[in-house]
Amino acid sequence: MLYLLLGANLGDRMATLRRAVDLIGAHVGAVVQASGLYETAPWGVTDQPAFLNQVLAVETTLAPEAVLTQAQAIEQALGRIRHEKWGARVIDIDILYYGDQIIQSEILTVPHPFLHERRFTLVPLAEIAPNFVHPILQKTTIDLLATCTDTGDVMALPVAG
């Protein structure tokens, strides 16, 4: 299973995430599960607007590098311009896990190297994959969340009804 983290903190964040989910379904693979939406404090560069984050579980036949290429194309199609690392952005799509693969290349590191340090990643991931085991750290998502030292705010948005 491919797990992706979506994040947006500029423009109409909710509409951007919805569009990203649609594009991922069309170009990467079937979205089989989606976490709720979480409003989260910025991480890394903290002087910027709050993010909306969501984690997706996706069934894909694409190779990991092809997933990265498609994710970057979707980001660009939605208006992402890369200014600074961890800065404000219209959309960000990160590959968290590609099954239990460990990938270390010039363009891609999987599992995501900061996954276990970020509550804004672990909280939505724990919603849909609480028992998924990190292939390097050999801990479940729930265990990673329990030991995460990040204190950033992660608040679930109410489900529209």
Q: Which of 12, 19, 94, 143 is catalytic?
A: 94
80 is catalytic: yes
In the beta sheet, which residues pair with residue 155? 39
Give tens-digit pLDDT for 70-96.
999 999 999 877 665 555 678 999 999
Select which of 12, 22, 47, 89 is catalytic: 89
Q: What is the pLDDT of residues 41-54, one digit of tens each?
A: 877 666 778 899 99
89 belongs to the catalytic site? yes
Catalytic option among 19, 22, 80, 143: 80
Active-site choice (13, 92, 118, 119): 92
**Catalytic site residue 94?**
yes
| 92 in catalytic set | yes
Q: Is the pTM of this model over 0.85?
A: yes
